[in-house]
């Protein structure tokens, strides 16, 4: 689940098996009505559910973890490979989706990741002025008229301003 975005039909089939296992036990021929609705079962224990993990949410969270590794330049081979192959020019992923089918699936969650992540400027090369979350909002969406006049995909790195 941390590698591929699973299709809804696959998750639905897995949930079907999980429901049967939960309510029937090991007797496959036993017919019994479900004791609770699946959305209730998959709620956390603290709010009255059984704490069964929602696989769609789990799949998204594990894929978003890959974006965290990429943007924080974690020292793993695939981060170096993706960086070298698709972003060697210094531009970071934004609305342009390019790369392998796996990377494109991960990039579909980029907006969710940016909504969860906070910006740590450091050298500024991985902070995008218009596309990152600043003070609870993304400037590109909060200030669309101003964005229409701006240079796109600019980082806050001093080096990017020298070449601009």
Q: pLDDT tens, 53-87?
A: 888 888 899 999 998 898 888 899 998 888 888 88
Name beta bridge partners: 137: 134
pLDDT tens digits for range 2-57? 777 888 888 888 888 887 777 766 666 666 666 777 778 888 889 988 888 888 88
Between 3 and 163, residue with greater pLDDT: 3
90: three-class secondary structure by DSSP? coil
Residues 154, 128: contact at Cβ < 8 Å? yes
Q: Encode pLDDT of 88-147 as tens digits.
A: 776 667 666 677 878 888 888 888 887 777 666 666 666 777 777 777 777 777 888 887
Would you state the structure tokens that stand for residue 81, as one six-digit string? Answer: 């490979």
Exposure class string for 59-92: b at 16+ Cβ within 10 A, else e: bbbebbebbeebbeeeeeeebeebeeebeeeeeb
Residues whose CB is less than 8 angstroms from the CB of residue 101 and which lie 6 or more positions away in sequence, other chains included: none
């Amino acid at each position: 689940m941390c590698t591929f975005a699973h299709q809804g039909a696959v998750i639905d089939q897995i949930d079907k098996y999980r429901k049967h296992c939960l309510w029937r036990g090991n007797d496959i021929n036993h017919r019994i009505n479900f004791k609770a609705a699946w959305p209730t079962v998959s709620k956390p224990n603290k709010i009255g559910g059984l704490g069964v993990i929602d696989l769609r949410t789990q799949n998204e969270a594990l894929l978003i973890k890959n974006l965290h590794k990429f943007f924080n330049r974690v020292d793993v081979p695939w981060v170096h490979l993706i960086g070298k192959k698709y972003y060697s020019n210094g531009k970071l992923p934004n609305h342009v989706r390019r790369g392998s089918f796996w990377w494109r699936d991960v990039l579909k969650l980029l907006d969710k990741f940016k909504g969860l992540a906070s910006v740590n400027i450091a050298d500024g090369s991985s902070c995008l002025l218009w596309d990152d979350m600043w003070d609870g909002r993304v400037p590109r969406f909060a200030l669309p008229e101003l964005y229409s006049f701006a240079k796109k995909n600019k980082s806050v790195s001093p080096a990017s301003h020298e070449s601009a």
